[in-house]
Amino acid sequence: MRARLLAPAAFFLGAMVCTQARASGDDSCYPAWSLAASSLDTCNNVPFLAPGNDSRINLRLLLADRGLLNMAPSELGQDEISEGYGPVPFALARVQAPGITDEQGDNSGTAALNELLHSLGLERESLETAGDAFLEGEGSRCRSNTDDSALSFMQQVVNSPQLTQPERRALARARMHLLEACSWAPRQIADLLPSGSASAEAEAFATYLRASADFYSGRFSEAHTGFMALVATPQPWLKEVSSYMVARVQLNAAQEGAFDEYGSLKQSAGAQAYAGAEQALQGYLSAYPDGSYAASAKGLVRRVHWLAGEKAKLAADYAAQLAAPAGAQRNVSLEALIQEIDTKLLPSRNQDLPAPLLAAVNDLMGMRTDDSRKLTREQLLAQRDVLAQVPGLFEYLQAAFAFYTDHDPAAVIERLPAQVPPQLDYLAFSQQALRGLALEAKGDRGAAQALWLQLIPLARQPLQREMLELALAMNHERGGELAEVFASESPIRSEQVRLILLGKVADAPLLRQQAAQGISEKEKATARFALLYKDLFRGQYAAFLDDMAAQPEALARVKLDSSLGYVYGNSYTLSLFQWAGEKAEAGYACPSVAETAAVLKARADDPKGLNCLGEFVLRNGLDGMPLDQRPAADHLGGTEPGFKGEVFSRLDAYRAVIANAQASREDKAYALFRAINCYGPSGYNGCGGEEVDQPVRKAWFKQLKTTYASTRWGKAQQYYW
């Protein structure tokens, strides 16, 4: 039979449960397509040990190497794809389950409990328990007041031969009442307990229930007295559980007043305040090293160390937890332990962490550009003995220090193994990934490329291959050999990587090629869209008309959203370019896009043509199109766009019409009207192009209201901004 824990006390009791402090309404993540980030970005992690990674990712990578967990990224979801994500970089949420699984009893004891009750002739009125009313991870000592702990009690009561059946029923009924709340007046409990000439054993169980009620109700002194009275009792279960509960009571009593009004731990009261609690916990653990509550007691010892501000001991506790084998009993799951380390240990930035994994994670935090407690070379060297417990780790961190702190790629390369091992665990992969990045930083693009290509067939662990594809793609991009990415033997299959390069960097011939030969319908459609869009908005009207003629029907309905760089919201299909000037909402009629292009092909500054190209942009929401925006230089797609030519903007076009002496009255009035409205109603220009000062806008308004007062737009416009 499984021993159920009476009180698997959560480590969280009364503690802040902190996760990422992210701004309200915006814990959505967006990708940043780069590999060498040196400041924390929990939305953009890479599968090698890096300062920019969330600490929990770095810890996971190291734990994966130790066989304690698997990096098991979830499939890219529709939302993530809409946000622009590909496989790497990845957000924390892709490898970390949202919940804190099995941190508490899972109430698998409910059925057994109900059965025992039934055998006593009792039925439950409600299945709800006080302990289940809490959220995952919420701190309360009452969380242990669950079916599982009631079951342990009930098993003892049912199986104790000294108890009479009426005593069993009374005790069982009392325990079930306790399940319903977290606090009771002493009188309420007294009324429930067996009274009169009870046996000594019944008295002992009743004392236990009274003490438990006192404990949950916060009467720690009474609880202590009650449990102390049972530590020498002959009933073995009562004896053990009381020994454990004495310690728990002491800890709860000691931590009263430890937190300020906002739940933060006050300046530590010092080890002395918790000495009694720790002694009691250690007492239980030495009497019952494999006891039913040993895992819980160890967790509480950790809590004592945290409360008492004993950083070295706390670090040693976590080190011992991480060194334990995969199947070891823990008071919390490994998942929860990772969270706990992140909130309870790492923020103290202790430089003397006794475990190599913890020290490494902490060191990487200290290499972040914006870290307030930057790691020094001396501090790193002083950790040699600890870090060296994991072969290669010390050297890796020295190399990382050279890369991220010293910006000395040559030193990085010296420190890392030049030979690529046949098996790439995450540390070995980190070594090679960093070496590749250092070769790139040093300008040795050829050697870097050779390395990426050498690594690709060796990548076996999750996310490694995808990262290498990104690295190789950026290498080709920076070398001006974009065609290599799209060559038929190219190992770069990642859809998002390819689409970004097509949208941002590809020139017209490559776009034409991929429009025909892309590896998916989406790639073909994206290439064709980018081609037509850039033809049209970079003044290549003749090419636009030629390319339009080649537009295949089959791609017309492929929906393009994130593949054009949009994040949520907008999407287009190739049918955009079939826009026929419909509606004329503002009373300015335009022909089809193709006809407008033909007009502009004949005369690039044709006023009607410019206004109508603007109308196409306006009516289809193309202002601020991502295809026109260049990513940062160190991001994928951040190099000089291959498609040359000045980018069209509505504001520039309207200004050209306004300045054009040949423009018709109608064209000019409409251009003025639209140009004024570029700034409305916010005062910010929404039309792109060069900014115009307010006096100029005022003059436009005046011109529209005087010279063109009789036009429909002169009449309509009431404001300028």
Interaction site with another protein (CB under 8 A): 12, 14-28, 74, 97-100, 133-140, 259-264, 370, 372, 568-569, 681-684, 686, 694, 718-721
Smallest distance from another protein to CB 82, Å: 9
Specify the residue, 27 or 666, whose C-beta has the smaller distance to another protein.
27
Distance separating alpha carbons of residues 51 and 404, to the nearest angstrom: 8
Please state, in angstroms and as integers, the Cα–Cα distance from residue 358 to each residue in 294, 315, 322, 382, 589, following that order.
24, 8, 9, 15, 68
Specify the residue, 135 or 382, whose C-beta has the smaller distance to another protein.
135
Specify the residue, 52 or 356, whose C-beta has the smaller distance to another protein.
52
Smallest distance from another protein to CB 84, Å: 14
Specify the residue, 370 or 489, whose C-beta has the smaller distance to another protein.
370
Cβ-Cβ contacts under 8 Å for 23 (sequence gap 6 or more): none
Smallest distance from another protein to CB 46, Å: 20
Q: Which burial class, exposed, middle or buried, applies to 417 when counting CB atoms under 10 A from its CB (0-12, 13-18, 19+)? A: middle
- Report residue 457 as tokens: 């067939």
Rg, C-alpha atoms of the chain:
35
Specify the residue, 96 or 225, whose C-beta has the smaller distance to another protein.
96
User: Which of 383, 396, 448, 445 has its CA nearest to residue 425?
Assistant: 396
Q: Is residue 236 within a helix (H) or strand (E), and if so which, with residue range?
A: helix 236-254
Amino acid at site 533 = Y
Specify the residue, 121 or 624, whose C-beta has the smaller distance to another protein.
624
Query: In which residue are the tokens 């102390």 written?
Result: 228
Rounded to 5°, the CA angle 590-593-595 comes to: 80
Specify the residue, 135 or 328, whose C-beta has the smaller distance to another protein.
135
Specify the residue, 372 or 706, whose C-beta has the smaller distance to another protein.
372
Smallest distance from another protein to CB 694, Å: 7
Distance separating alpha carbons of residues 583 and 265, to the nearest angstrom: 64
Specify the residue, 108 or 279, whose C-beta has the smaller distance to another protein.
108
Smallest distance from another protein to CB 71, Å: 14
The SS3 of residue 560 is strand
Smallest distance from another protein to CB 567, Å: 10
Distance separating alpha carbons of residues 8 and 469, to the nearest angstrom: 46
Specify the residue, 16 or 580, whose C-beta has the smaller distance to another protein.
16
Q: How many other CB atoms are found less than 10 A from the CB of residue 411? A: 16
- Report residue 274 as tokens: 């918790």
The answer to whether the beta carbons of residues 399 and 416 sit under 8 Å apart is yes
Please state, in angstroms and as integers, the Cα–Cα distance from residue 694 to each residue in 366, 649, 698, following that order.
48, 19, 6
CA dihedral over 47, 49, 53, 56, signed as positive or negative: positive
- Report residue 562 as tokens: 């994130």
The answer to whether the beta carbons of residues 675 and 658 sit under 8 Å apart is yes
Cβ-Cβ contacts under 8 Å for 298 (sequence gap 6 or more): 285, 317, 331
Smallest distance from another protein to CB 325, Å: 26
User: Which of 42, 84, 78, 86 has its CA nearest to residue 629?
Assistant: 84
Smallest distance from another protein to CB 648, Å: 21
User: Which of 521, 517, 548 has its CA nearest to residue 532?
Assistant: 548
Smallest distance from another protein to CB 655, Å: 20
Residue 572: what are its φ and ψ, rounded to 5°?
-135, 165
Smallest distance from another protein to CB 62, Å: 22
Smallest distance from another protein to CB 218, Å: 12
Smallest distance from another protein to CB 134, Å: 7
Smallest distance from another protein to CB 104, Å: 12
Specify the residue, 108 or 694, whose C-beta has the smaller distance to another protein.
694
Specify the residue, 570 or 660, whose C-beta has the smaller distance to another protein.
570
Smallest distance from another protein to CB 665, Å: 26
Determine the length of the chain.
Answer: 721
Query: In which residue are the tokens 């790492």 written?
Result: 346
Residue 17 Rama label (left phi>0; alpha psi -120 to 50; beta): beta
- Report residue 227 as tokens: 């449990």
The answer to whether the beta carbons of residues 7 and 293 sit under 8 Å apart is yes
Specify the residue, 222 or 623, whose C-beta has the smaller distance to another protein.
623
Distance separating alpha carbons of residues 147 and 129, to the nearest angstrom: 7
The SS3 of residue 132 is helix
Specify the residue, 261 or 646, whose C-beta has the smaller distance to another protein.
261
Residue 560: what are its φ and ψ, rounded to 5°?
-120, 115
Write the secondary structure of 290-323 as one string of H (helix), E (strand) and C (coil).
Answer: CCCCHHHHHHHHHHHHHHCCCHHHHHHHHHHHHH
Specify the residue, 74 or 662, whose C-beta has the smaller distance to another protein.
74
Smallest distance from another protein to CB 49, Å: 24
Smallest distance from another protein to CB 283, Å: 28
Smallest distance from another protein to CB 89, Å: 16
Distance separating alpha carbons of residues 691 and 451, to the nearest angstrom: 46
Distance separating alpha carbons of residues 498 and 523, to the nearest angstrom: 8
Specify the residue, 138 or 203, whose C-beta has the smaller distance to another protein.
138
Specify the residue, 15 or 505, whose C-beta has the smaller distance to another protein.
15
Residue 259: what are its φ and ψ, rounded to 5°?
-115, 145
Distance separating alpha carbons of residues 101 and 227, to the nearest angstrom: 31
Query: In which residue are the tokens 């601020």 written?
Result: 624
